């Protein structure tokens, strides 16, 4: 999503999407530290609801990518806001929902935290783990946004944008369907 928003909208949209991913990470870390990840992992119904919602959201984003109008301009220095500009809140929301609705992240945190956190781990250490994970997520995906929004990359990508939109759309739809049907 960061790559898509960086290419299709702007560097700012990519970085705000990275911020949304990081905020979603904070949600995952918070409930994992509170023990809810274990409960979600043990409840087939709750896990399946999260899984289906996440899969449907990916399918929705994929359909939007497939329906993108060919030839919509990519943001450049000369045209910083393309015709289909993504609002700041919209970019953060896309990143947040993409992360929060991903059931695999729940399982990831359950696996990681059972290895590094115990009942005796001080709260300050738990908070530091959460902050480090959110910050690392934000920094990495901001770097991705920066790289994919660089003018030399964007000018090359602009020539094949419609194929990239279709490819991203197809990948998102297939990923969403895989999430929905995977047991």
Indicate the range of 16-20, 156-160, 171-175 predicted with least confidence.
Answer: 156-160
Q: Answer whether residue 96 shows pLDDT above 90.
A: yes
The domains of the chain are located at 2-181
Can you give the pLDDT at residue 70? Answer: 60
Residue 162 pLDDT level (bands cut at 50, 70, 90)? confident
Cα–Cα distance, 139 to 73 (Å, whole number):
27
Can you give the pLDDT at residue 4? Answer: 85
Can you give the pLDDT at residue 144? Answer: 93
Residue 94 pLDDT level (bands cut at 50, 70, 90)? very high
Q: Answer whether residue 61 shows pLDDT above 50.
A: yes
Mean pLDDT across 92-110:
85
Q: What is the pTM of this model?
A: 0.70
Query: Do residues 24 and 95 make contact, with C-beta atoms less than 8 angstroms apart?
Result: yes
Which 3-state string (H, E, C) describes the chain?
A: CHHHHHHHCCHHHHHHHHHHHHHHHHHHHHHHHCCHHHHHHHCHHHHHHHHHHHHHHHHHHHHHHHCCCCCCCCCCCCCCCCCCCCCHHHHHHHHHHHHHCCHHHHHHHHHHHHHHCCCCCCHHHHHHHHHHHHHHHHHHHHHHHHHHCCHHHHHHHHCCHHHHHHHHHHHHHHHHHHHHHCC
């Amino acid at each position: 999503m960061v790559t898509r928003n960086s290419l299709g909208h702007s560097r700012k949209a990519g970085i705000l999407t990275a911020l949304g991913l990081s905020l979603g990470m904070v949600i995952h870390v918070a409930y994992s530290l509170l023990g809810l990840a274990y409960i979600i992992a043990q409840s087939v119904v709750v896990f399946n609801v999260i899984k289906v919602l996440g899969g449907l959201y990916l399918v929705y984003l994929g359909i939007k990518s497939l329906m993108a109008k060919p030839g919509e301009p990519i943001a450049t220095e000369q045209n910083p806001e393309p015709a289909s500009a993504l609002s700041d809140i919209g970019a953060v929301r896309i990143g947040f929902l993409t992360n929060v609705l991903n059931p695999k992240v729940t399982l990831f945190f359950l696996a990681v935290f059972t290895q590094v956190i115990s009942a005796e781990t001080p709260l300050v250490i738990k908070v530091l783990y959460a902050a480090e994970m959110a910050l690392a997520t934000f920094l990495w995906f901001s770097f991705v946004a920066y790289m994919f929004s660089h003018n030399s990359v964007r000018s090359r990508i602009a020539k094949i944008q419609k194929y990239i939109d279709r490819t991203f759309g197809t990948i998102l739809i297939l990923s969403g369907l895989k999430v929905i049907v995977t047991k």
